[in-house]
Amino acid sequence: MFASRSAVLRRPCARLMSSAAPSSYKLVVIGGGAGGLAVASTLSERLGRGAVAVVEPSDVHYQQPLFTFVGAGLKPLADARRPMADVMPPDATWVRSAAAAVDPAANAVTLADGSRLAYDYLVVAAGIQLDFGAVRGLPEALGKNGVASNYSPAHVQQTFEFLQRLRHGNALFTMPATPIKCAGAPQKIAYLAEELLRERGVRDAVDIRYYSALGKIFGVDKYAAAMSRVAESRGVGVNLFQDLVAVDGPANTATFKQLGSGPDAGRTTTVSYEFLHVTPPMKPFDFLSSSPLANAAGFVDVHPHSLQHVRFPNVYSLGDCSSLPTSKTAAAAAAQSRVLKHNLLSQIEGSGAPAAEYDGYTSCPLVTAKHKLVLAEFSGYSGKPHETFFFNQANEHAFSYWLTADVLPEVYWKSMLKGTWCGPATIRKFANPTSSN
């Protein structure tokens, strides 16, 4: 904490709010994640120093799309981590505090210490909360005796540690019933674990099983077919409508409840494990779900095409906390950031420019082995593929792996967080002009 605070002070342009800082801004952005910083970078440059505040309590920023690689031992956690001070836009003011409440009728955000920030415009990019506590026994079991989760920076390295020690028994990989970020991650790590166990010569002694609370292995049929083929060829057992409801750490057992409408719905099954990778249930942060900004499910209620709030026209949202009915990924946030910035700036500047429209674009790079990846790209609104390249991206490809492992992480740091990468739409015009797939 001390180190990164001194880093802030060393940087001539990064500004941390002091007690003398203003408590009123043209624009307040809640959240210093990928979506929040992409918006704050462009808007602070455009509106000038002192006009934009970013409310963010953490002194570290994580590039979360890298977590699967970290969990499989393919990248160090350090590659996914930067001091928040280093990624904060230089013209924005970093308000290093958590948001505790939003009062959109009064155009104000209340911070954890009770102070208030007034705004003319608000962008909510708060992300989504991991809810390990929703699974009985999980908080106590996590991080011990073979239970890990790539979703938590505190536990992602344990995935690799435990997989290196695993010699026999059941390796279970779970997917919850709630909306989650990166819906492909729960199964990607199963395939990378399979490869790792093969390399270690213990594959035949381990039964690898994927348990999903959902009724399909992937939401879009084209990629669901591809992933079913991958799972089958790799000997990964797929169990659908199975929702993890309890973990008994000392006994090394996981209990699943059968969902759906079949005759066995509601029945529970207890399975022993030597290794358990958990994708926790997720939910909106409490300060949002209890605010007037929320829809019935607790997400920020924005128009699916304009990203403007349905009741408060000076409020916008993007990313995991938004109600946008598409798959929650960094690629989606990048595409959303283009639309949000265009529409917000034309509102602020009164330019009357035609509104930009978000089409539900999202992408899920489904890594299946070292140098193999299915690059799912689709619209969550139409449910149809929307691929950037001319080849069939449902096929496992070394190019797709290289792009995801080596190119996009640099794009993320050097361009997305600086507001200049807003998704691959321009590349698609050249690389797949007919958009035939």
Scanning 90-98, 123-131, 253-261, 411-419 for contacts with ligand UQ1 by CB under 6 A, the matching segment is 411-419
Cβ atoms within 10 Å of 146's Cβ, excluding its own = 24
Minimal CA–CA distance to 366: which of 188, 204, 220?
A: 188
User: Is residue 361 part of the contact set for ligand UQ1 (CB under 6 A)?
Assistant: no
Scanning 118-126, 132-140, 294-302, 418-426 for contacts with ligand UQ1 by CB under 6 A, the matching segment is 418-426
Among 7, 16, 100, 411, binds ligand UQ1 (CB under 6 A): 411
Binding mask 30-59 for ligand UQ1 (x = CB under 6 A): ------------------------------
Least distance (Å) from ligand UQ1 to the CB of residue 272? 35
Least distance (Å) from ligand UQ1 to the CB of residue 28? 24
Nearer residue to ligand UQ1 within complex by CB, 301 or 377 = 377
Containing 434, the helix (H) or strand (E) segment is: none
Nearer residue to ligand UQ1 within complex by CB, 9 or 427 = 427
Least distance (Å) from ligand UQ1 to the CB of residue 183? 13
- Paired sense of beta strands 93-95 and 52-55, if any: parallel
Among 412, 417, 419, 432, binds ligand UQ1 (CB under 6 A): 412
Least distance (Å) from ligand UQ1 to the CB of residue 389? 8
Scanning 6-14, 108-116, 168-176, 423-431 for contacts with ligand UQ1 by CB under 6 A, the matching segment is 423-431
User: Is residue 65 part of the contact set for ligand UQ1 (CB under 6 A)?
Assistant: yes
Scanning 82-90, 116-124, 302-310, 407-415 for contacts with ligand UQ1 by CB under 6 A, the matching segment is 407-415
Least distance (Å) from ligand UQ1 to the CB of residue 388? 4
Among 117, 259, 416, 417, binds ligand UQ1 (CB under 6 A): 416
Query: Token pair for residue 416?
Result: 């997305």
Minimal CA–CA distance to 214: which of 187, 249, 177, 183?
A: 177
Distance, in Å, from the CA atom of 285 to the CA atom of 180, rounded to the nearest integer, reads 13
Among 158, 363, 368, 432, binds ligand UQ1 (CB under 6 A): 363
3-state helix, strand and coil shares in percent for the chain, rounded to the nearest 5:
30, 25, 40
* Total interface residues for ligand UQ1 by CB under 6 A: 17
Distance, in Å, from the CA atom of 290 to the CA atom of 101, rounded to the nearest integer, reads 8
Least distance (Å) from ligand UQ1 to the CB of residue 211? 25
Distance, in Å, from the CA atom of 256 to the CA atom of 174, rounded to the nearest integer, reads 10
**What one-character DSSP code corresponds to residue 349?**
H
Interface with ligand UQ1 in residues 315-354 (CB under 6 A): 330-331, 334
Q: Is 14 exposed, middle or buried (0-12, 13-18, 19+ CB in 10 A)?
A: buried
- The answer to whether 255 and 221 are in contact (CB under 8 A) is no
- The answer to whether 419 and 337 are in contact (CB under 8 A) is yes
Nearer residue to ligand UQ1 within complex by CB, 385 or 424 = 424
- Paired sense of beta strands 15-16 and 147-148, if any: unpaired
Q: Name the E strands within 153-261.
A: 169-175, 206-212, 237-239, 242-248, 253-258
- The answer to whether 430 and 56 are in contact (CB under 8 A) is no
3-state secondary structure of 265: coil
3-state secondary structure of 277: strand
Catalytic residue annotation: 182, 364
Query: Token pair for residue 420?
Result: 């200049």
CA angle at residue 238 from 235 to 243, to 5 degrees? Answer: 145
Least distance (Å) from ligand UQ1 to the CB of residue 140? 33
Tell me the CA distances in angstroms from 375 to 54, 146, 180, 399, 404, one per residue in order: 32, 30, 19, 10, 9
Nearer residue to ligand UQ1 within complex by CB, 322 or 363 = 363
Residue keyed to tokens 């938590």: 152
Scanning 22-30, 46-54, 150-158, 404-412 for contacts with ligand UQ1 by CB under 6 A, the matching segment is 404-412
**What one-character DSSP code corresponds to residue 12?**
S
Least distance (Å) from ligand UQ1 to the CB of residue 409? 7
Beta bridge partners of 28: 53, 122
Among 365, 380, 385, 419, binds ligand UQ1 (CB under 6 A): 365
Nearer residue to ligand UQ1 within complex by CB, 48 or 399 = 399
User: Is residue 424 part of the contact set for ligand UQ1 (CB under 6 A)?
Assistant: yes
Among 347, 388, 419, 432, binds ligand UQ1 (CB under 6 A): 388
Nearer residue to ligand UQ1 within complex by CB, 327 or 388 = 388
* Interface residues toward ligand UQ1, by CB under 6 A: 65, 330-331, 334, 363, 365, 377, 388, 404, 408, 411-412, 416, 421, 423-424, 427
